[in-house]
Structure 1
Amino acid sequence: MLNWTTEISAWLIVCPVFLFFFLYWGLKWGLKSQPRALRWSADLTTLFFILADHFWMVQLFGRSFLLYILLVLFLVGIGIVILFALRDGELRLERVFRTYWRLCFFIFAVLYLFFYLTGLVLAISY
């Protein structure tokens, strides 16, 4: 019984791009708004991109860089809080967190693409 749930969750972690597009199309149909569907899809798949990048690093480099990923997440969060505090003089936590989470989506989606292409090149060259 648990085998199929483990397999589905493994595919969602390894292939967050498919999850992103699946959610985007479903939310676009459900919400009837393309920009809102895009934002919600990005928000919901960020964690999957982070996990997929971790697994890509383990596969490519043979060791875990999870602590470094957490350090990057922490430093990005501190940077955004400082920028918002200097710019606005006050912190609206909802806006700070939303900006942080979407920036993390962008960073880890680009990293996912980089690791995917690196793995592809390494697989072809060996």
Structure 2
Amino acid sequence: MTELVAFVIATIVTIPLLGWYMIYITSVKISKNKSKSMRRASDWTTLLFMIAVYFIMIEIWAQSFLWIILAIFFFIALVVTWIQWRVSGDIQTIKLFKGIWRFNFLTFVIIYVLLSGYGLLARIFS
């Protein structure tokens, strides 16, 4: 049983799109609200995409780039905070954290897709 749980967790971490889809489908079945389910799945899998990007970078270049991932995360936090301050003149913490987290989701999904494609092509042509 523990091997099955370990297999499922390892699969979800290495293929976060599968984790996103599983959370989305489960949430749609429970809430019957597709847009809310999409946001919920995105919120829950942001960390999975960050971890997947980290491990893909290790696999492609054989070294850790954790500092780049953290720099991207904090840069996005800085930019989103600045934008919210300029637009509304006040910082609303809950709205700010949601914006940071969701923008990080979009960023790391794009990075995940680009790195997966690059890694696949690099392995094919090397």
What TM-score bracket applies, with the shorter chain setting the length?
over 0.9
- Give the ranges of 4+ consecutive aligned residues of structure 1 lying more than 6 Å apart after TM superposition: none
- 1:123 equivalent in structure 2: 123
Which residue does the alignment assign to 2:94?
Answer: 94
How many residues are paired up? Answer: 126
Could you report, residue by residue, the CA deviation over 1:7-49 in whole angstroms, capped at 9, with x for unpaired residues? 3322211010001111111111111001000000000000000
Distance 1:10 1:74 in 2: 27
Corresponding residue number in structure 2 for 1:84? 84
Alignment correspondent of 1:111: 111
Work out the CA distance in 2 between the residues paired with 1:5 and 1:34: 28
TM-score (norm 2): 0.94
| Comparing 102-111 and 114-123, the one that deviates more | 114-123
Query: Following superposition of structure 1 onto structure 2, how do residues 26-105 of structure 1 map, counting pairs within 5 Å?
Result: 26-105=26-105
Task: Give the CA RMSD over aligned residues.
Answer: 1.2
Deviation at 1:2, TM superposition (A): 5.1
Residue type matched to 2:48 in 1? F
Aligned mates of 1:2, 1:26 — CA distance in 2: 23
Distance in 2, Cα, partners of 1:120 & 1:98: 33
Query: 5+ unaligned residues in a row in structure 2: which ranges?
Result: none
Where does structure 1 lack aligned partners over 5 or more consecutive residues?
none
Per the TM alignment, residue 125 of structure 1 is displaced from its structure 2 partner at its CA by 1.0
- Distance of 2:63 and 2:6 partners within structure 1: 23
Aligned-residue sequence identity (percent) comes to 24
Deviation at 1:4, TM superposition (A): 4.1
Determine if the alignment matches structure 1 residue 6 to structure 2 residue 11. no
2:85 is aligned with what amino acid?
A: A
> What is the TM-score normalised by the length of structure 1?
0.94
For residues 18 and 4 of structure 2, the distance between their equivalents in structure 1, rounded to whole angstroms, comes to 18
